[in-house]
Chain A
Amino acid sequence: MKIFNQERFDRLPDAFLFDTDNTLYAYSTAHAAAQQAIKDKVVETFSIAPNEFDSAYAEARQQVKMRLKATAASHSRLLYLQRMLEIMGLGSQVLLALDFEHTYWRTFLSNAVLFDDVKELLDDIRLLGIPMAIVTDLTAEIQFRKVLYLGLDRYFDYIVTSEEAGFDKPHMAPFQIALEKLRPRGDRIWMIGDNPVTDIRGGRERIHAVTLQKIHHDTPLGTDENAPDAAFSEFRELRHLIAKLGDAM
């Protein structure tokens, strides 16, 4: 565990905020498997070349993102797939779009595996009696399904999605709503996430959170204004830190 601002770790926090995707589980492997599954299905259904799917999907995604900017719906696979079918000249094809979306999420969920020691960490925090919330982008339904699938619902007191907040992180709204729900006793909040811009900079600038970045091979350490107060690659390191601060109390 690398602690860059030692003075911010003199005591346990009053509340924990966690990002989900790529923080609590490896997003990229689940996404890659899911993306491949819809690609295989689309290629097989329409007898098209894989690169035709790639280009149509990429274009659809770009259009949706550009139109919806930083909102929950801008991440919607259903909208990407609907637009992809339209770009392919097939109209909206409601049934197919839904079917492909189901395929994506089913494959995604079956490939989503929590990082080691996540549940143990959450259990440690539960025993310390510190409230916890998930602050995550994307739509509520799929994030709720992920939380259920990964068995995290029993640990977290609240969840805030960007669909609920109206904006993605690093906008103030999701952080603010989380704190309103949690009502922490003090102002020492730990924000734990992987993204140096949305989670780390967002957490620090919006709610003055102590920021901890989860590092792995595809998430580089944030620098300058995106630099976290601490970084770790294994959740057991965070458990040790919390145990140490807990013992010192």
Chain B
Amino acid sequence: MKKLCLHPFFLLGLAIRLGLVFTTAPVAEANWYVPFLESSTSHFSLDPWSTWLADGGTPIAFPYGYIMWLAFLPLTLATKLLGLPLVYGYKFTLLAADFTLLLALKKLVPNRHRLLLLTYWLSPIVILASYGLGLNDLIPVLLLTLALYYTRRLKMAFAGAICFAAISAKFSMVLAVPFFLIYLVNNRALRQLLPQFVAGFSVCGALLGLPFLFSRSGLYMVFSNPEMDTVYRMALSLRENVSVYVVPLMYLVMLYMTWRIRRLNYELLHAMLGMAFLLIVLLTPASPGWFIWTIPLLVTYQAKSGRIAIALTAFFSGLYVLSTLLTTNVRFVGGGKLDVMSLLHLSQHLSNHAASLLHTLMVATGIILSLRIWRESVTRNDFFRLSRRPFVIGIAGDSGAGKDTFSDAIQGLFGQHSVVKLSGDDYHLWDRQKPMWQVMTHLNPRANDLENFGNDLVALADGKSIRSHHYDHQTGKMSKPVNIKSNDFVIASGLHALYLPMLRRCYNLSIYLDIDEKLRRHFKLQRDVLQRGHSAEQVLASFEKREPDSVRFIRPQQAHADLVFSLQPINPRTLEHFDGKFPLRLKLVVRTRDSSNELSLTRVLVGVCGLHVDMAANRDISEVVLTIEGDTTAEDIALAAQMLCPRILEFLDIQPKWQNGIIGLMQLITLTHISQAMTKRFI
């Protein structure tokens, strides 16, 4: 903070602010806000609005709820006690809110001090509206920005409470609430936090909203405020007495577009909410203070974009200042005023014309900014791109290779709420008791309804729901068909998941699990006897029966996989004497094609996870082979993922289930490949 506060830009902004605090005497401040605060502190009441109106005050003086009043109260009382003019209590409260908003934006845009000071602290919009014209929109905008900050930190109870506080400060902030709700409902990982948001919102509502409902004068002042009517000013007349209001229409369209994104991340929430505010401000004869609503969006957009964005926003801000000064005078202490119209010797007609032209140019620039924000912050956002089509992973491997365990591990990262699994077992043609299995093994493609497996996969990849049976391994029977909805991630696993070219074309990432044959038989024997209720003799006999089909139909699929995981015992003889007393020591051999991150992966596995890694290329350098040995923990894997593929972490569950050991390594490597595949898909 010291670095920020000693920056020349900060000192310049502070000097401008202090200069205006001591020299300006804005009308709104002198005629409405300060007299209201004077009245409410002279005759202290929990219903200051009634006291004010009873004393003959104007209803437009303070059309805000408790939070706005409470925000100004401490410094108003302090100046009163010190015998200073109350106007300084008002102005320094604004300055405090202004500085706090700078700090809040610093949290949202870290390590960009210079840019932040340039785009926020020196923003002509903030300076003119707050200190030149005395408008108080900084308070609700600060609260809304804090709500966004706590939303990003997943402190949803705080976010909900502060969101209501923003509405209490200025009722227009209610426009933001549906965006928060859509964000929490549509982001499946965050949906579990919705009750926290609602609870925070409700508690704050009960404390600040309910008492306000008992103030008839307060309600009258808020809802009779002529500013509320400005949103209906732009209308398309359909016939006599019936019009379409453009601003509410635009707002509803924005809400629908936000809903249709299906899954929002924080950046999308911020961008969509900011764009809604920007369009409302542009399309209404808004108070100059409303432009402050757009500032958090414009600051984050400028931080993310480049010089053109900064130049365009500066141009927009300059037009705002000119058009505002042509229509509104800045008044100074002692009665002087800055009247641009008189300074330029413009007639009223010419001045109106010039103001309209400038306003038109400003709206045009604002619309260009909105379009750029849509293009850069929305359509290029990874979440937005993913919402167009699910990410599809195909996992093939022999029976007992660990397809289910591996699928569960990947599902554990993204969360059950974001993954749909399609299992090849559910497409066996016959129940286990049927005679066909005497002449055919499950490994034979003809024993499986691969056509329907493919159709269902295509449907899920297209975002559609399917109806599918489920194969019960205990009973050996298919269930009745059940409805399965598509999701952000589709994991299709099965003996033949990579068998048909049509299936392979559906996958964004294809994986083959190639386990050491002795190890596979060991694991399969354990699973089929202990979990699926088969006899040991049955399982042992099936190995020999299935071997030819495995060679013919299953193993060739690894040639089509982007990534092959091969689990092998470190010492091949271990299994001969394995009695279960000591854990099996295994190594993971990873073969990849068309991948470019092996070097960074090796660095992190060695440097962070403390593993032994050998890297080699095959003869025709079409494949890279990594052999990884050693023990690692889930925490190390999580740290490694943070280094290797930080962009994808946002897609994971709030508490992703990282695993220890080899499965954890497989999770990490798969994630790096998902990250690469996503990048490729988005290009």
* Partner-B contacts on A (CB < 8 A): 102-103, 106, 109-110, 116, 144-145, 148-149
Contacts and interface: CB of A to CB of B under 8 A. Distances in A.
A106 B635 contact: yes
Contacts of A145: 607-608, 610
A80 B608 CA distance: 21
B607 A148 contact: yes
B643 to A, nearest CB: 7
B326 to A, nearest CB: 42
A26 B315 CA distance: 39
A103 B608 contact: no
B639 A106 contact: yes
B42 interface: no
Contact of A148 (B111, B608, B636, B639): B608
B635 A148 contact: no
Nearest to B608: A149
Main secondary structure of the interface of A (DSSP, over half): helix
Given A106-B635, A109-B639, A149 B607 contact: yes
Interface string B615-643: 00000000000000000010110010011
A109 B603 CA distance: 14
* Residue from A106, A144, A145 with most neighbouring chain B CB atoms (10 Å): A106
A158 B639 CA distance: 26
25 contacts: A102-B633, A102-B635, A102-B636, A103-B635, A106-B608, A106-B635, A106-B636, A106-B639, A109-B608, A109-B639, A110-B639, A110-B642, A116-B111, A144-B607, A145-B607, A145-B608, A145-B610, A148-B603, A148-B604, A148-B606, A148-B607, A148-B608, A149-B607, A149-B608, A149-B643
Interface of B: 111, 603-604, 606-608, 610, 633, 635-636, 639, 642-643
B8 to A, nearest CB: 14
Contacts of A110: 639, 642
A56 B403 CA distance: 48
Given A106-B636, A144-B607, A148-B608, 17 more contacts: A102-B633, A102-B635, A102-B636, A103-B635, A106-B608, A106-B635, A109-B608, A109-B639, A110-B642, A116-B111, A145-B607, A145-B608, A145-B610, A148-B604, A148-B607, A149-B607, A149-B608
Contacts of B603: 148
Q: Across chains A and B, which 8 residue pairs bring their CB atoms closest together, nearest first?
A: A148-B607, A145-B607, A110-B639, A106-B635, A106-B639, A148-B603, A149-B607, A149-B608
Contacts of B604: 148
Contacts of B635: 102-103, 106
A102 B610 CA distance: 10
Contacts of B642: 110
A110 B636 CA distance: 10
A148 B606 CA distance: 9
Contacts of B608: 106, 109, 145, 148-149
Contacts of B639: 106, 109-110
A67 to B, nearest CB: 27
Main secondary structure of the interface of B (DSSP, over half): helix
A85 to B, nearest CB: 19
Contacts of B636: 102, 106
* Residue from B607, B633, B635, B643 with most neighbouring chain A CB atoms (10 Å): B607
A103 B608 CA distance: 12
A109 B638 CA distance: 12
A149 B607 CA distance: 7
Contacts of B610: 145
Contacts of B607: 144-145, 148-149
A149 B642 CA distance: 11
A110 B635 CA distance: 11
A206 B229 CA distance: 78
A102 B636 CA distance: 9
Nearest to A116: B111
A110 B111 CA distance: 18
Contacts of B633: 102
A102 B607 CA distance: 13
Contacts of A102: 633, 635-636
A116 to B, nearest CB: 7
Contacts of B111: 116
A149 B606 CA distance: 10
Contacts of A148: 603-604, 606-608
Contacts of A103: 635
Contacts of A109: 608, 639
A86 B604 CA distance: 33
B487 to A, nearest CB: 30
Nearest to A103: B635
Contacts of A149: 607-608, 643
A140 to B, nearest CB: 13
B544 to A, nearest CB: 43
A148 B639 CA distance: 13
A103 B639 CA distance: 11
Nearest to A147: B607
Nearest to B635: A106
A103 B633 CA distance: 10
A144 B610 CA distance: 11
A134 B607 CA distance: 17
Contacts of A144: 607
A236 to B, nearest CB: 12
B109 to A, nearest CB: 15
A106 B607 CA distance: 11
A79 B111 CA distance: 37
A149 B644 CA distance: 11
B596 to A, nearest CB: 17
Contacts of B606: 148
Nearest to B111: A116
B400 to A, nearest CB: 32
A103 B636 CA distance: 9
Nearest to A99: B633
B610 to A, nearest CB: 8
B506 to A, nearest CB: 37
Nearest to A154: B603
A110 B608 CA distance: 10
Nearest to B600: A151
A24 B355 CA distance: 54
A10 to B, nearest CB: 31
A144 B642 CA distance: 19
B35 to A, nearest CB: 46
A50 B604 CA distance: 33
Nearest to B113: A116
A144 B607 CA distance: 8
A96 to B, nearest CB: 14
A78 B607 CA distance: 18
A145 B32 CA distance: 63
B565 to A, nearest CB: 25
Contacts of A116: 111
A154 B610 CA distance: 19
A216 to B, nearest CB: 11
A144 to B, nearest CB: 7
A200 B639 CA distance: 34
B536 to A, nearest CB: 36
A71 to B, nearest CB: 23
B431 to A, nearest CB: 49
A116 B110 CA distance: 12
A144 B633 CA distance: 20
B186 to A, nearest CB: 30
A109 B608 CA distance: 9
Nearest to B642: A110
Nearest to B633: A102
A150 to B, nearest CB: 10
Nearest to A148: B607
A102 B639 CA distance: 12
